[in-house]
């Protein structure tokens, strides 16, 4: 396998986000830890909102930028955690908010900006990079990390 080559990638128009998020869940749903990276405004939270619908979250999904952690209930998966680590300064900050306990919970953990604190889970995870191409188009790269 070529070094740094994505395990899966796709360019898509925003109008395709429902089908793309569903495809990702079908391909990678067995992995419960998903890290999301991309520039500000690339669409990480928007992608997670659509993903949450496929995970049968009934409540509104919002960015946890200031709360840091949002917990959602799902008909199929009991709990889903959505974290935004952008405002944290270190792994120690992650420890203080209970990041490692959430990762160990066995529930879906959808984490934006893990790179902000250099967080890489010891458990298997997927890294999803979203690139903003223009107002209507994005490019998605998925890398599987099985540790």
Q: What pLDDT, on the 0 to 100 scale, is given for residue 3?
A: 54
Tell me, yes or no, if the pTM score tops 0.85: yes
pLDDT tens by residue, 89-132:
999 999 999 999 999 999 999 999 999 999 999 999 999 999 99
Q: Which stretches in the chain have pLDDT values below 50? A: 1-2
**128 near 142, Cβ under 8 Å?**
yes
Write out the DSSP string of 76-136. TTEEEEEEE-TT--SHHHHHHTTHHHHHTTSSEEEEE-GGGGT---SS-EEEEEEEEEETT
Structure tokens at 55: 């995970």
Q: Which domains does the chain have, with CATH numbers?
A: 8-145 (3.40.50.300)
Q: By three-state DSSP, how is residue 73 classified?
A: strand
């Amino acid at each position: 396998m070529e070094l740094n080559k994505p395990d899966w990638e796709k360019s898509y128009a925003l109008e395709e986000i429902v089908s793309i998020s569903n495809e990702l869940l079908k391909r990678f749903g067995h992995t419960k830890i998903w890290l999301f990276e991309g520039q500000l405004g690339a669409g990480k939270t928007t992608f997670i909102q659509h993903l949450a619908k496929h995970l049968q979250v009934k409540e509104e999904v919002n960015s946890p930028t200031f709360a840091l952690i949002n917990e959602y209930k799902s008909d199929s998966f009991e709990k889903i955690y959505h974290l935004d680590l952008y405002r944290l300064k270190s792994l120690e900050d992650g420890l203080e908010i209970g990041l490692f306990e959430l990762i160990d919970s066995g529930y879906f953990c959808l984490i934006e900006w893990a790179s902000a604190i250099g967080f890489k889970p010891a458990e298997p995870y997927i890294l999803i990079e979203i690139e903003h191409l223009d107002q209507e188009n994005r490019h998605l790269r998925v890398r599987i990390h099985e540790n």
